[in-house]
A and B are shown apart, each in its own frame.
Chain A
Amino acid sequence: QSALTQPASVSGSPGQSITISCTGTSSDVGNYNLVSWYQQHPGKAPKLMIYEVSKRPSGVSNRFSGSKSGNTASLTISGLQAEDEADYYCYSYADTLEIFGGGTKLTVL
């Protein structure tokens, strides 16, 4: 049950776009379209930002988008804003279990 692989950190300037990758295996990310992404600010509970690879829950900005190719899912944030600075986690269904990525710290410069 290894965690999905994410970069430890990414950064970008306000207005720019960044992409966070999430690499799993053919047993999780590659086999199901049940990848979701979560944003977590310090001391707060996580918040669902993307589900089923690319769908946004009501109320989530359309600056957030998701995609998947093979065993790798990606989260893209366009038009970076200061409030996007947070930790981001991918998450995948994997039949009898579910798996988070190790998390990526996004710094808005």
Chain B
Amino acid sequence: VQLVESGGALVRPGGSLRLSCAASGFTFNHYWMHWVRQAPGKGLVWVSRINSDNFNINYADSVKGRFTVSRDNAKNTVYLQMNSLRPEDTAVYYCARDGGGLVPGLDYWGQGTLVTVSS
């Protein structure tokens, strides 16, 4: 199992960014996927989750209305579209697989991609 995030960058406040997470080594369309972020020197914060067929999606209040999660099962990739970015969105963003019925927990994680929101 491998998860590889990409797309992190330095962006101005109010700007947009799209993160990608490419998955391999498992049947991607069988699993929920999550995004988790970690501001520098701070703790983990859950951001969003998406079920296997794009129909069940949830967000943390802090990003609701600004971030959109989606997935392309044909490309084994999950995305996080981030709009109206704020300095407090600065963090390493991880994607993680939810092990589902067998292992309900975030059983595999990517290495993270850094998003910096600053003028």
Q: Which residues of A contact B (CB under 8 A)?
A: 1, 3, 34, 36, 38, 40, 45-48, 50-52, 55, 57, 87, 89, 91, 93, 96-103
Q: A98-B34, A98-B46 are in contact. Are A48 and B107 (CB under 8 A)?
A: yes
Within 8 A of A (CB), among B80-119: 94, 96, 99, 103-107, 109-112
Interface pair A46/B104, CB less than 8 Å apart: no
Residues of B in contact, count (CB < 8 Å):
24
Interface pair A96/B43, CB less than 8 Å apart: no
Interface pair A51/B109, CB less than 8 Å apart: no
Interface pair A102/B94, CB less than 8 Å apart: no
Measured in the bound complex, the distance between the Cα atoms of B49 and A93 in whole Å is 11
Q: Which residues of B contact A (CB under 8 A)?
A: 34, 36, 43-46, 49, 58-62, 94, 96, 99, 103-107, 109-112
Q: A3-B43, A98-B34, A99-B46 are in contact. Are A34 and B104 (CB under 8 A)?
A: yes
Measured in the bound complex, the distance between the Cα atoms of B50 and A80 in whole Å is 37
- Minimum Cβ distance to chain A for residue B64 (Å): 10
Q: Among the listed B60, B99, B106, B107, which residue makes an inter-chain contact with A97, where contact means beta carbons less than 8 Å apart?
A: B60
Interface pair B60/A38, CB less than 8 Å apart: no
- Minimum Cβ distance to chain B for residue A59 (Å): 11
Given contacts A89-B43, A103-B43, 9 further A-B contacts (CB under 8 A): A1-B61, A34-B104, A34-B105, A46-B109, A48-B106, A50-B105, A51-B104, A55-B103, A98-B46
Measured in the bound complex, the distance between the Cα atoms of B49 and A91 in whole Å is 14
Measured in the bound complex, the distance between the Cα atoms of B107 and A93 in whole Å is 14
Q: Among the listed A1, A46, A96, A99, which residue makes an inter-chain contact with B106, where contact means beta carbons less than 8 Å apart?
A: A46
Interface pair A97/B104, CB less than 8 Å apart: no
